[in-house]
Amino acid sequence: MSLNLFIAVACVVAAILLTIATVRFFFSARKPQVQDAFKDQPADVRASAGDTLRTRRSDNRESIALLTRQLVVSAILTLLVLLPALVRVLYPNVVPDWMVDPWVQAIIITPVMFYSGAPIHIDGWDALLRRMPNMNSLASIGTIAAYAYGILVCLFESALPQAMREPYFEVTGVIITLVLFARWAVDMWLPRRPAFPLQERVDRVSRVWVPITILIALWTFICWLIFGPQPSFTRALLMGVSVLIIACPAALGWAAPLSAGAALDDAQRYGLTVRTTSALQQAKDTSAVLVARELAPSAEQAIAQLSGTGVAVAKVDARRTDEAVRALTERRANGATVMFIGDGSEDVRVRDAANIAVACVALDNPEAAPIHADVIAAPTDYACALKLIRLSKATMRNICENLWWAFIFNLVGIPLAAGVLYPFTGWVLNPMLACVAMILSSICVVLNAVRLRHCKLDGAW
C-alpha cells in the first residue's frame, strides 16, 4: 500500500468516526438540556458580553447599550476592511498595498472577532454544549474558521499558492455585523416577551441544520484532500472553511424580526398596540371571536364583517367570570383559535383563557393598560379583530418569504462552496463573492420586510 493511499484511507476512517460521534452527540436519545432563551438577571448585576444574546433584563437598557456599542464597533471596523478589498477587486491600482495587507486586516478585525463577536461565540458554544445548536453556533463556527484561516495566511503567506493568499477577514466582520444587527433589531423593535413562536421553529430547524452543515464541511475537506489538486491540504482547508462561511445564517436571523418590526409599526398606524408577537402569529388562524356583551351593541357592524369572513362570532358576559372562562375554554378545547375582545375591565382569567386577548381602552396612560392583554385597541375600534387578522396573515406570509429566501441562499450556496462545479468547469466559489452575496441576501430580506409598511388593514389588500 502506497503512502498516499494509506493517508487517504486514514482520513476517510477519521471522517467516518467524526461523523458517527457528531450524529451521536447531537441526535442521541438523551434529551438535550433546554434553557430559556430569555433568562432574567438581577438589575444589580453588571452587563457582560454574553448578556446581549443570552439574557434579557426587566430593565434592558444596559444590555441594549452594550449591544449597540458592539454593533457600532463591528460595523465601522468591518467597513475599514471590506471597502478596500472590494475596491481592490474592481480597481486594482487604486488601493495601496498596505490597506489590504493581511496583518493590517488582522489587527483591524481582531476587536470585531473578540469584542463585538463575544456574545455570538458565548451563546453559540453554550448552545452547542447543550446539544441545542442555534444559528449563533453556526455563525461562531464560521467566523472562527474564517479568522483562523486568515491568521494562517498571515503566518505562512509565502508558502501558499497565489490563489489562496486572500485572508477573508472581511467575511468574519460581515457575518458578525449582520448577526448583531439582527439581535439589535429584535431588542429594539419587538416586545420583550414571549419569544416569537415562529423563530422558535427556526431554532428547532437549526438544531438539525447546524450538525448537517458541520458534516458537509468535514466531508468537503476530506474529498478535496483526497481528490483535489495540489497543494491538496491548503485547498481542502479553504473549501471546508468556505462551506462554513456561506452557511452562516445572516439573512435567516433577520427574517422574522424585521418583518415583525415592520408589522408592529403598521399596527401602530392603525391604532393597534401589539404587545406580544405570539398574537401577531396566531391571529391569522382565528376561527372564533368572543366579544364582551358590554361592547356588542356598538360593534354590530364589525361583528357582521367578521361573520362575513367565516369567523364564528359570539357574545359573552365578561362580568360573569366563570361563565366567560368556560365559554372560551370550550371553544379552545374544540381546536379553535379564540380571540376575546373586551374593554379591559374584565377579570384577568377571562383574558388568559383566550389565545389572543384584545382590550379596547384609551392609552393616555400606558401604565394603566390592562395586564395580560396581547393587543390594545382604541375604545371605539371594534374592527380591531379584522385588522389584526389581516395584519397577521400579511406578516406570516412575509416572514415565510424571507425564510425561503434565506434557505434557498444556503441550499444553492453550500454546494457551490463545496466545489460541485469544479470537476466540470474548474470554478470554485470565492469566499469574497459569498460575502457579497450574503450582504445582498440580507438587503433583499430588508426590502421585503419594508413591503409590510404598505399593507392596508382597513380595506382590500
Task: For 398-430, write each residue's pLDDT tens digit.
Answer: 888 888 877 888 888 889 888 888 888 888 877
- Enter the DSSP assignment of 368: G
Residue 49: predicted pLDDT = 47
Higher pLDDT, 115 or 363: 115
Ordered DSSP codes for 321-352: HHHHHHHHHHHHHTT-EEEEEE-S-S-HHHHH
Instruction: Report the 3 state secondary structure along 216-241.
Output: HHHHHHHHHHHHCCCCHHHHHHHHHH
Cα–Cα distance between 369 and 359 in angstroms, integer? 9
What Cα–Cα distance (Å) separates residue 57 from each residue in 45, 63, 187, 204, 238? Answer: 10, 8, 11, 24, 41
Higher pLDDT, 13 or 161: 13
Does residue 64 surpass a pLDDT of 90? no
Q: Which residues contact 69 (CB under 8 A, 6 or more apart)?
A: none
Higher pLDDT, 354 or 63: 354
Q: Which homologous superfamily is 273-380 in?
A: HAD superfamily/HAD-like (3.40.50.1000)
Confidence of residue 72 (pLDDT cuts 50, 70, 90): very high
What pLDDT, in 10s, does the model give residues 204-258?
777 888 899 889 999 998 998 888 777 777 788 888 888 888 887 666 777 777 8
Confidence of residue 36 (pLDDT cuts 50, 70, 90): very low
- Enter the DSSP assignment of 320: S
> Which range has the top average pLDDT, 60-64, 76-80, 147-151, 347-351?
76-80
Q: Which residues contact 267 (CB under 8 A, 6 or more apart)?
A: 273, 274, 387, 388, 391, 457
Q: Could you tell me which of 367, 349, 376, 167 has the C-alpha nearest to residue 267?
A: 376
- Evaluate whether 137 touches 128 at the Cβ level (below 8 Å): yes
What Cα–Cα distance (Å) separates residue 336 from each residue in 280, 286, 384, 391? Answer: 16, 7, 19, 19
Residue 104: predicted pLDDT = 92
What pLDDT, in 10s, does the model give residues 269-310?
888 888 888 888 888 988 888 888 777 677 777 778 878 888
Least confident piece of the model among 192-201, 214-223, 359-368, 429-438: 192-201
What pLDDT, in 10s, does the model give residues 345-356?
777 888 888 888
What pLDDT, in 10s, does the model give residues 126-160?
888 888 888 888 889 889 988 988 898 888 877 77
pTM given for the model: 0.77
Confidence of residue 7 (pLDDT cuts 50, 70, 90): confident
Cα–Cα distance between 443 and 400 in angstroms, integer? 16
User: Can you give the residue ranges of every domain in the chain?
Assistant: 34-261+396-454, 273-380
Higher pLDDT, 433 or 417: 417
Residue 198: predicted pLDDT = 67
Residue that is written with C-alpha cell 455570538 in the block: 120
- Evaluate whether 381 touches 302 at the Cβ level (below 8 Å): no
- Evaluate whether 189 touches 257 at the Cβ level (below 8 Å): yes
What dihedral angle (degrees, nearest 10) is formed by the CA atoms of 338, 343, 347, 352?
30
Confidence of residue 31 (pLDDT cuts 50, 70, 90): low
Strands 375-377, 356-360: pairing is parallel
- Evaluate whether 109 touches 169 at the Cβ level (below 8 Å): yes
Residue 70: predicted pLDDT = 93
Confidence of residue 71 (pLDDT cuts 50, 70, 90): very high
Confidence of residue 78 (pLDDT cuts 50, 70, 90): very high
Give the phi and the psi of residue 316 in degrees, each rounded to 5.
-140, 140
For the sheet with 286-292, list strands across it: 273-274, 375-377, 356-360, 337-342, 286-292, 312-316
What dihedral angle (degrees, nearest 10) is formed by the CA atoms of 389, 391, 396, 402?
170
- Percent of residues, the chain, with pLDDT higher than 90: 9
Cα–Cα distance between 252 and 246 in angstroms, integer? 12
Does residue 74 surpass a pLDDT of 90? yes
Q: Omega of the bond prior to 370 within 30 degrees of 0, cis? A: no
Quote the mean pLDDT of the chain: 80
Q: Is 397 helix (H, G, I), strand (E, B) or coil?
A: helix
Cα–Cα distance between 423 and 414 in angstroms, integer? 16
Residue 199: predicted pLDDT = 65
Confidence of residue 178 (pLDDT cuts 50, 70, 90): confident
